[in-house]
């Protein structure tokens, strides 16, 4: 079985447990404050890490290339409240331009 299939199976089971715990087991019992804080903050930590690592990470090497410009342009587009499509297209176009010019 390939790695991706194994990840798919593990995530399917785990995600279903997380999604259905409320409706099937917990009902509307409030989560403990500490758990609630953890739940609120976790995505920010992981998404920020993913944004940085997918931009400059290449295995164990840190590579600064045109993608850095792409990420900066994405940030600029988000700051200007651009919709998702514009953010992705602008980041890709900027990256392609820097590569073409280099």
Partner 1 sequence: MNDVDEAALKRAIHRQAASIVAAVAPFGIVFGAAAATAGLSLVQATGFSLLVFGGSSQFAAVEILGDGGSVASAAIAGLLLNVRSLAFGVIMAPALVGTWWQRAAMSQLMIDESTAVGAAQHERRWRRYGYLVAGVGVYVVWNVTTALGYVAFAGAGDLITQLGLDAAGPAAFLALLWPRLSSMPQRRTAIVGALIALTLIPFAPPGVPILASMFGVAAGRIGVRRVDEEPSS
- Number of residues counted as binding partner 1 (CB under 8 A): 75
Say whether residue 88 binds partner 1 (CB under 8 A).
yes
Residue 102 binds to partner 1 (criterion: CB under 8 A): no
Q: Is 18 near partner 1 (CB under 8 A)? A: yes
What's the rounded Cα separation, in Å, for the pair 35 and 30? 10
Which H or E run includes 2? Answer: none
Q: Is 66 exposed, middle or buried (0-12, 13-18, 19+ CB in 10 A)?
A: middle
Of residues 47-86, those binding partner 1 (CB under 8 A): 47-62, 66-67, 70-71, 74-75, 78, 83-85
């Amino acid at each position: 079985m390939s790695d991706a299939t194994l990840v798919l199976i593990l995530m399917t089971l785990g995600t279903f447990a997380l999604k259905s715990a409320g409706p099937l087991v917990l009902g509307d019992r409030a989560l403990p404050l500490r758990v609630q804080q953890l739940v609120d903050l976790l995505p920010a930590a992981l998404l920020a890490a993913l944004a940085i690592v997918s931009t400059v990470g290449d295995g164990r090497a840190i590579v600064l290339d045109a993608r850095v410009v792409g990420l900066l342009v994405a940030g600029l587009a988000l700051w200007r409240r651009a919709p998702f499509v514009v953010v992705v297209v602008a980041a890709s176009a900027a990256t392609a331009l820097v590569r073409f010019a280099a």
